[in-house]
Amino acid sequence: MSRVAFITLGCKVNQYETETMEGLFKKSGYEIVPHTEAADVYIINTCSVTSFGDKKSRQLIRRMRRLNPKSIIAVTGCYSQVAPEQVKAIDGVRVVIGTKGRKNIVEYVQQAMAEDGIIDRVEDVMKAREFEDIPLYEMPARTRAFLKIQEGCTNFCSYCIIPYTRGPIRSRRLESIRAEAKKLLDNGFKEIVLTGIHLGAYGRDFGDGTSLYDAARTVLELPGLRRLRLGSLESIELSPELLELIRTHPKFSHHLHLPLQVGSDEILRRMNRHYNRDEFTGLIKNVRDKIPGVAISTDVIVGFPGETEELFTQSLEYIRSLNFSRIHVFPYSPRTGTPAAAMKDQVSEPDKKDRVHRLQLVADKMAEDFHRTYLGTVQDVLFETNTEGITDGLTDTYIRVYTDDEVVTGEIYKVHLEKLYKDGVYGKIYERG
């Protein structure tokens, strides 16, 4: 039996896609092994969101080659989609696929085993019109199940490479979502996270009014589900009916990840984001009025071209006023081929580093304040990982909870939250099951 190992870089969509490819190999009789072991085939699912993603992808390809010089190395994902020539130039690469056509990956690998040369199957993703529907043949080795329901983005934020790597919006049919979600629940998953590249655009390509609301409803109707969570969503795409569903449905998590990106109107314009600060503030207020206690997390990019010290300070003050539950802070990274990479007034690396640090301090304080409001309460926690006697998991509002009580991962427990601990909270089991 041939052995295949997978390495995944980047986002949750990539993680999900790796899980579907694992299923395809398993179904064809391959044994899945950890990537630290010598394997006959290595699949490297790359990322290109930052230049660090590109570099890391190249390093991993070389490392796998050293581990077994005779192995077949297949590279897929965003980096191979935008830079197939660079990928093909790396010694040892035998199969190159972009973000489309992965349902045939086993066949391409077998072809590479049988013949010499490089199998190049990178397609023009801008012409893609259909969601590539690959069923999960193998259940993911995790406790929360990601379910990809949407592909592609046409927003063209000026810094982002994704519209070029993923192509136009394509949505998964509701019947397919229902079937995949049912499979996950039948296999004991308690929480499903709906993910996509531009999740809020779900259904737009159908042209019949289908929306993310319908996708969420479809999953919420299934027996066995304990919690539904949404992946990252553009704030301006949060429809009133979806908000109402989140507010009223007991299984819908009260956590939203709404990327702000920057707190300066001038930089928002340069980023080609489609809202300003006042609109964002209004949206957040509306969500909080409708769903008291909702956790709102966000992403912020610092050091975008043209961000002066004054604009950064304005942005910082604005962010401070919004009380996010969590902020993912990213230094701006120019991506060749995007408008922002060609902008003048690029910010120096030391300035970016300094701003990341200053914003991170604000983010840490905000997260701590948010966690503190939950101390003394009892929350449902889905436990995920156990390290040296400490198990951690997540609440509905995405607070990481640690306990040294005996728990089974993959199960939900009622936990009394006692004190701040690491990046979250420490708790004791209040009730099992």
334, 380 in Cβ contact below 8 A? Answer: no
Is 197 a residue that touches ligand SF4 (CB under 6 A)? yes
Q: Tell me how far, at minimum, the Cβ of 294 lies from ligand SF4, in Å.
A: 22
Q: Please give the torsion angle defined by the CA atoms of residues 75, 81, 82 and 84, in that order, rounded to the nearest 10 degrees.
A: 50
- # of chain residues touching ligand SF4 (CB under 6 A): 9
77, 122 in Cβ contact below 8 A? Answer: no
Q: From the CB of residue 77, how many other CB atoms can be counted at a distance below 10 Å?
A: 28
Please identify, among the stretches 155-163, 172-180, 246-254, 325-333, the one whose residues bind ligand SF4 according to the rule CB under 6 A.
155-163
Closest CA to 155 of 147, 145, 166: 166
Per CB under 6 A, the list member of 39, 73, 93, 153 interacting with ligand SF4 is 153
Residue type, 259: P
Q: Tell me how far, at minimum, the Cβ of 27 lies from ligand SF4, in Å.
A: 31
- Which one, 125 or 153, has the nearer CB to ligand SF4? 153
What's the start-to-end Cα distance of the chain, in Å? 40
Residue type, 266: E
The dihedral sign for the CA sequence 72, 146, 200, 24: positive
- Which one, 169 or 425, has the nearer CB to ligand SF4? 169
- Which one, 170 or 198, has the nearer CB to ligand SF4? 198
Q: Tell me how far, at minimum, the Cβ of 159 lies from ligand SF4, in Å.
A: 7
Q: Tell me how far, at minimum, the Cβ of 307 lies from ligand SF4, in Å.
A: 17
Per CB under 6 A, the list member of 157, 216, 230, 381 interacting with ligand SF4 is 157
Please identify, among the stretches 148-156, 171-179, 217-225, 284-292, the one whose residues bind ligand SF4 according to the rule CB under 6 A.
148-156
- Which one, 155 or 360, has the nearer CB to ligand SF4? 155
Is 155 a residue that touches ligand SF4 (CB under 6 A)? yes
Please identify, among the stretches 150-158, 211-219, 343-351, 412-420, the one whose residues bind ligand SF4 according to the rule CB under 6 A.
150-158
| Assigned token pair, 46 | 């790359």
Q: Tell me how far, at minimum, the Cβ of 257 lies from ligand SF4, in Å.
A: 12
57, 8 in Cβ contact below 8 A? Answer: no
Exposed/middle/buried for residue 378 (C-beta within 10 Å: 0-12, 13-18, 19+):
middle
Q: Tell me how far, at minimum, the Cβ of 12 lies from ligand SF4, in Å.
A: 13
Please identify, among the stretches 87-95, 152-160, 207-215, 350-358, the one whose residues bind ligand SF4 according to the rule CB under 6 A.
152-160
DSSP-derived secondary structure for 293-348: T-EEEEEEEES-TT--HHHHHHHHHHHHTT--SEEEEEE----TTSGGGG-S-PPP
Q: Tell me how far, at minimum, the Cβ of 49 lies from ligand SF4, in Å.
A: 8
Interior angle at CA 87, CA 159 and CA 35, nearest 5: 100
Is 163 a residue that touches ligand SF4 (CB under 6 A)? yes
205, 242 in Cβ contact below 8 A? Answer: no
Please identify, among the stretches 113-121, 154-162, 331-339, 391-399, the one whose residues bind ligand SF4 according to the rule CB under 6 A.
154-162
Is 82 a residue that touches ligand SF4 (CB under 6 A)? no
Is 201 a residue that touches ligand SF4 (CB under 6 A)? no
- Which one, 74 or 201, has the nearer CB to ligand SF4? 201
CA-to-CA dists, residue 260 to 66, 300, 324, angstroms: 42, 6, 10
Per CB under 6 A, the list member of 5, 72, 160, 340 interacting with ligand SF4 is 160
Per CB under 6 A, the list member of 60, 93, 96, 162 interacting with ligand SF4 is 162
378, 416 in Cβ contact below 8 A? Answer: yes
How far apart are the C-alpha atoms of 322 and 343, rounded to whole Å?
Answer: 29
Sorted by sequence, the CB contacts under 8 Å of residue 291 that are 6+ apart come out as 243, 246, 247, 254
Sorted by sequence, the CB contacts under 8 Å of residue 115 that are 6+ apart come out as none
Which residues, 346 to 375, sit near ligand SF4 by CB under 6 A? none
Is 340 a residue that touches ligand SF4 (CB under 6 A)? no
Please identify, among the stretches 156-164, 167-175, 223-231, 356-364, the one whose residues bind ligand SF4 according to the rule CB under 6 A.
156-164
Per CB under 6 A, the list member of 52, 107, 156, 321 interacting with ligand SF4 is 156
* Binding stretches for ligand SF4 (CB under 6 A): 153, 155-157, 160, 162-163, 197-198
